[in-house]
Structure 1
Amino acid sequence: MADFSYASLTPDLILDAIESTGILVDSGLLALNSYENRVYQFADEHKQRMVVKFYRPARWSTEQIQEEHDFALELQEQEIPVVAPLVLGGSTLHQYQGYAFALFPSVGGRQFEVDNLDQLEWMGRFIGRIHAVAATRSFAHRPGVSVEAFLYQPRKVLDQTTLVPEELRLPLFTVMDQVIVQTAGQYQQGTFTPIRLHGDCHPGNILWRDGPTFVDLDDCRMGPPIQDLWMMLCGDRPQRLLQIDTLICAYEEFCDFDHRQLVLIEPLRAMRMIHYMAWLSLRWEDPAFPRAFPWFSTPKYWEQQILSLKEQLSALQEEPLSLMP
């Protein structure tokens, strides 16, 4: 699709864009693991490692990207370990040859261990701190977590794609529609006050080195606070009960938490599953996606999604997680 073509984003253009901000590049460009955007690491003339991020054209407006940047800077000002864009020439967002881009410091670390309760306790405290700041105001331009954006629109996308094998369409959409009905009902009955969120707070977006560092606020949006917590849960039900109890007890040291949100965990998981399938389908014409996700167009992938949706339908019908007494 032309709207998200990176065909003209050549190495020379990347270097010229970086140097248009006054930063001189003194190394090659190392492509980092990003598919939605194009992200490269390099060293400047002072041998400092930096990262440049080129935003996918036509995905976010200038105002939406600026809100992401302002949110990151606001958190950073409160000494919360978030990787925020660099302010260069009085601005964090730059334009070059039709591309919007930003520069960030390069940070290192390993992925945090979701089954490590000590690290989960750290995570709970820091997300509590993030949300205490986030709740002080709302986004004006960023979207929210909604059934329209995460269920109904993705369902339309998947219905139109030719990537689903014809013989699997009926079983796939039969169970998907059941999941959508159940999920939409439960989510819309949920009780929460929407706040600004990281939005995509999974372990891959958290680097660990003497504590957590949060990266990639590209999907920040308004929504229920539990959205920034549930993706850290793993394992069987007893494990998840212990994990959520650990997270929220630490979270509440810095921010109040409405326990009624716990009923949203499985609906949010179902929304992410369906949204992810549609996201891959929408991006399939970007050459990076068939290379990175070759299994997406295979019958085996869609057979697995049918099974996963059936399991999720069962999970939606189970008793929600609750905190330990």
Structure 2
Amino acid sequence: MSEHDTSHPFERLTPAFLMDAVETQGFWCDGRTFPLNSYENRVYQVGIEEKEPLIAKFYRPNRWRREQILEEHEFCFELAEQELPIVTPLVNEAGQTLFDYQGFMFSLFPRRGGHAPELDNMDNLFVLGRLLGRMHRVGAVKPFAYRPEITTQNFGYDSVEFIRDRFIPTDLKPAYESVSADLLQAIDEITQQCGEIKKIRVHGDCHTGNMLWRDDAPHFVDFDDARMAPAMQDIWMLLSGDRFEQTAQLSEIVDGYNEFNEFRHTELRLIEVLRSLRIMHYSAWLAKRWEDPAFPHSFSWFNTERYWGEHILELREQMAMLDQAPLQLR
């Protein structure tokens, strides 16, 4: 499929289609629709007559099964029941949160305003640490029955195989195969040394785009990537800068986290492991979605000779990071 092909399923999501879908749930649309920043799924703000606008999320076909999406919703409601600031889906009169319309599954959410948290603010990191500590207490109560785990196999080996077989330029293939094999071997060795790693239900994609700061507190949105994973999966993405800066940031987060939960110091070794797996998985995600016309348009830098050269360099840098001693709390 070329980047100009408009036969992708999401091409059917015209304003009229969106409003027709939303109106099946008893709302009367006022004709205003506005696309929000989302690529894996499609998310829109939809105006409602004499009411606040709603957020309509149309799930990518064939990504999650119905029971996996409903399990995500259930997790959100569990968190909200514990008074955690989570944006939960709307429930219709039949008690449903996931609806069907002409081949699409979709959900509706209340609109919530806010801005991205300032992660260079230590007070904000402390607050986020407290919130994650509370969230992970709920996440540890029981496992997901249908949603997958984050593993070296599905985020690492499977991603490398897909890129190697379908995307990496021929002249870069030997370098890519070599560095990815070394990196995966190092990851396997570290995870084996860590012994049993406790996996809980986590947000899974805990970056600033999925947090709204309002009323002096963060609100988490978009649990679409919720999986079983180490608690560190929701923590390491809040870290940035050099080793000294990351140590200070992590210490502040953990101070907040320990007010409601026990931070597992053994997971410090997983920071660069999880970062490496995300880097590999992210490239494979872009590659797997390249048939979606929105991706070549929005990620024009991807799948170029320069991109793959820089990706290989990034993997080499991760090898060096894995060789270093893990971060230590102050």
The answer as to whether partners of 2:19 and 2:46 remain within 8 angstroms in 1 is no
- For the residues of structure 2 that align with 1:188 and 1:140, how far apart are their CA atoms? 25
TM-score where L is the length of structure 1: 0.96
- Is 1:86 aligned to 2:90, yes or no? yes
Deviations 1:74-96 (Å, cap 9, x if unpaired)?
11111111111111121110011
- For the residues of structure 2 that align with 1:47 and 1:189, how far apart are their CA atoms? 56
What's 2:152 paired with?
147
- Is 1:124 aligned to 2:124, yes or no? no
- For the residues of structure 2 that align with 1:317 and 1:110, how far apart are their CA atoms? 37
What's 1:70 paired with?
74
- For the residues of structure 2 that align with 1:287 and 1:102, how far apart are their CA atoms? 23
The answer as to whether partners of 2:19 and 2:31 remain within 8 angstroms in 1 is no
Tell me which amino acid in the other structure corresponds to 2:234. D
3-state SS of 1:277 partner: helix
The answer as to whether partners of 1:26 and 1:47 remain within 8 angstroms in 2 is no
Percent of pairs with identical residues: 47
- For the residues of structure 2 that align with 1:250 and 1:87, how far apart are their CA atoms? 33
Q: Tell me which of 27, 33, 41 is aligned to 1:29.
A: 33
What's 1:13 paired with?
17
What's 2:223 paired with?
217
- For the residues of structure 2 that align with 1:101 and 1:107, how far apart are their CA atoms? 18
- For the residues of structure 1 that align with 2:11 and 2:239, how far apart are their CA atoms? 39
- For the residues of structure 1 that align with 2:41 and 2:193, how far apart are their CA atoms? 34
- Is 1:318 aligned to 2:317, yes or no? no
- For the residues of structure 2 that align with 1:8 and 1:188, how far apart are their CA atoms? 47
The answer as to whether partners of 2:22 and 2:56 remain within 8 angstroms in 1 is yes
Over aligned residues, Cα RMSD in angstroms? 1.5
For structure 2, which runs of at least 5 residues remain unmatched after alignment?
Answer: none
Q: Tell me which of 250, 254, 260 is aligned to 1:248.
A: 254
For structure 1, which runs of at least 5 residues remain unmatched after alignment?
Answer: none
Q: 1:81 to 1:317 in 2, by over 3 A?
A: same
TM-score where L is the length of structure 2: 0.94
- Is 1:261 aligned to 2:253, yes or no? no
Deviation at 1:7, TM superposition (A): 3.1
Deviation at 1:3, TM superposition (A): 11
The answer as to whether partners of 1:50 and 1:105 remain within 8 angstroms in 2 is yes
- For the residues of structure 2 that align with 1:153 and 1:231, how far apart are their CA atoms? 22
Size of the aligned set, in residue pairs, is 323
Deviation at 1:28, TM superposition (A): 1.4
Deviation at 1:313, TM superposition (A): 0.5
Deviation at 1:225, TM superposition (A): 0.5
- For the residues of structure 2 that align with 1:95 and 1:269, how far apart are their CA atoms? 36
Q: Tell me which of 109, 117, 120 is aligned to 1:112.
A: 117
Q: Give every structure 1 segment of 4 or more consecutive aligned residues whose post-TM-superposition deviation is greater than 3 Å.
A: 1-4
The answer as to whether partners of 1:184 and 1:267 remain within 8 angstroms in 2 is no
- For the residues of structure 2 that align with 1:186 and 1:218, how far apart are their CA atoms? 28
Tell me which amino acid in the other structure corresponds to 1:268. L
- Is 1:273 aligned to 2:293, yes or no? no
- For the residues of structure 1 that align with 2:185 and 2:9, how far apart are their CA atoms? 35
